[in-house]
Every structure is written in structure tokens, then in C-alpha cells.
Amino acid sequence: MTTYSQPGHGQPDPGLSAIVSERRQLINLAYRLLGSLADAEDVVQETYARWYAMSRQQQQAIESPGAWLTKVAGRICLDLLGSARARRESYVGEWIPEPLPDHTEWINGRPGGTTADPADRVTLDESINMAFLVVLESMTPAERIAFILHDVFGYPFAEVAEIVGRTPAACRQLASSARRRIRASQPPATPAAPSSSTVRDFKQAWEAKNIDALIALLDPDATAIVDGGGLASAGLRPIEGSEQIARYVLTIASRAPDLTILERTVNGQPGLVAQQDGVTVTVAAFDVTNDRIKHIWAVRNPEKLRPWTASPQH
């Protein structure tokens, strides 16, 4: 973890541990708001930079440093979400939120491949699965912030209003609108065990190059979205239909016969990771409904696979 020190003071900052302890909460918040771990880390770094740009007297005048940090991080995220829409319009192909591994599989992409600091990890729960994050992408920035802060993190609307710059009543309406979007798009929850079994069967059918088995595991109206970001081969548009998806999967297998497929937890749900020569090249998240795969989100953009890829050991 980065060590923060109070500039200009020889004595340790008595509130330092309390301030630094907010880091994980801020990372969790910013990732859910932005769908990008890299952007979330930048937001937290900027938030702390603003805190330490203040004098000791200014810091001591703040009644709740944690609330102050959350407010600042939320406002930075709000600005980023506005500019992100413009960036997404110029993004090559489909944009998918950055996938996260399970804590036990988390690898730090920094030199040496050391384990990431626990304070930098995102807590995995139902508000982090890929289907949920994709719905968040359809919301306006204000809706997303109001919903995440209130419904996921339990902040009162009065505090949300200070971040969003609207009245508490307006924020309540924003969160309500976001909830309707979630309800309209989320299928009934599928227990993890059946999902895991379906994903495992899909892996085995993929390895066996069994197109009939693949088609049988996919919902007839299934959709697959592949995010290459212009840095890795990927379809520029969603792939629709079970047969088309199965053929696409088999095309990948024929082009990369040395591909290794691993079962992994992706954003808290059963998923698959494809490795080539020990390097993670694809992370796939699945939405399973009634034992059929309804959606596949496959991230191939190497910039989004940093937590999954260990640096070469020498």
C-alpha cells in the first residue's frame, strides 16, 4: 500500500490510519461507479491528493474525513462518467466493464507479480456481477451514482444530493429509476452451483469442439459480446443466437489450438479464463438462466486483464 505522510510535519498524523482505512471503501465505490479498476485507482489517488493538499488545520476542521473522502471521490467519478460517454463513442468495438478475479486468484500486474494489497481489492457481491455492471452502463451518471451510493452503500439521500448536486427528492427519483432498469433487465437469480455446472459443461464442449453440445448449452436467443478494444481480435458487434456463438467459439479454438481453458470466478460468478503460453488472453463472464447460457461477456483487451496476468518471473 502507498504510505501517506503529512507534508511539512515531523510528527506522525494521528488521523492517518483512519484516513488510509477508507481506501478499500473508496476503491469498492469507484469500481462500481466506473466499471474500471484502473480508473477507480486513479480516482482514489486523486481523492487522497486533494486531502493532503489541505493544511492540517483544514483537515482537522472536517468533522467526518470518511464522508469528505466519499464526497470528493463521488464527484470525481461523476465527472469521469460524463467524459467516459464520449470516450466510449470512440472505443473500438464493444465496451465491457473490467472483469475482476476472486480474491484467492488476484494477481498484481506490477513487476514481480506480487499479491495485491487487500486494501486494493474490490469486495465481490451481487452488486459486482457482470450482468449488474452492464445494466449500470445504461444509466445516466446521476442515476448510477444515486443508486450505488444509496442502494448498495447505504448513504442517505441528503448526502447523495451533495455529491450529485441535486435535491434529496431528485436523488430519490434517480435511484428509483435505476431500480426499475435493474428489475427490467435482471433475470431470476440462478444458484451458483447450477451456473458452475453449466459453465463447466460449456468448457468441456469447447475443448471437445462439440458444436451440438455448445448449442444445447446456449439459449437460442443468447448474446455474446467480445471486448478487444482495438488491441486484440474481437467482433465489433454482439454475436446473436446459439449457433452463431457456438461457431465463433469453435473458430477461436481452431485458430489457437494451444489455448488452455480454466474455470475461474469472474466478478463473483462462475466464469472461464483462456490462457496462451501461460498468459491470460480472454476472461469470460456468463449469465445463466434455467441452465442455459443467456449472455457471454468476453474481455480480450489486455489493458483490462491486468489483475489476471502475472508479470514474468525471472
Tell me the pLDDT band of 194, cut-offs 50, 70 and 90.
low
Global pTM exceeds 0.95: no
Q: Cβ(108)–Cβ(100) under 8 Å?
A: no
Give the model's pLDDT for residue 12. Answer: 45
What does the pLDDT look like over 111-148, one tens digit per residue?
333 444 555 567 767 778 898 999 998 899 999 999 99
The pLDDT of 268-294, averaged and rounded, is 93
Q: What is the pLDDT of residue 40?
A: 94
Given a cut of 70, whether residue 265 has pLDDT beyond it is yes
Task: Inform me whether the pLDDT recorded for 230 exceeds 90.
Answer: no
**Segment holding 264, helix H or strand E:** strand 260-266
Using alpha carbons, select from 285, 282, 272, 284 the residue that is nearest to residue 302. Answer: 282
Of the candidate ranges 114-118, 215-219, 248-252, 259-263, the one whose mean pLDDT is the lowest = 114-118
pLDDT of residue 111: 33
Nearest to 271 by CA among 291, 298, 246: 298
pLDDT at 218: 98
Distance CA 164, CA 78 (A): 7
Question: Residue 240: is its pLDDT beyond 60?
Answer: yes
- Grid cell at residue 229: 478494444
pLDDT tens by residue, 176-188: 999 999 888 865 5
Confidence class for position 270, pLDDT limits 50, 70, 90: very high
Helix (H, G, I), strand (E, B) or coil at 239: strand
Q: Please, what is the average pLDDT of the chain?
A: 85
What confidence tens digit (pLDDT) does each residue in 26-62 have? 999 999 999 999 899 999 999 999 999 999 999 999 9
b/e sequence 250-267, b meaning 16+ C-beta within 10 Å? bebbeeeeebebeebbbb
Predicted local confidence at residue 6, as pLDDT: 41
Distance CA 73, CA 69 (A): 6
The C-alpha cell at 11 is 510528527
The pLDDT tens digits for 147-179 are 999 999 999 999 999 999 999 999 999 999 999
Q: Which amino acid, one-letter code, is at 59?
A: Q
At a CB cut-off of 8 Å and minimum separation 6, what does 177 contact?
Answer: 143
**CA-wise closest residue to 58 among 119, 8, 20:** 8
**Nearest to 182, CA basis, from 229, 217, 121, 134:** 134
Q: What does the pLDDT read at residue 190?
A: 56
Q: pLDDT grade, residue 250 (50/70/90)?
A: very high
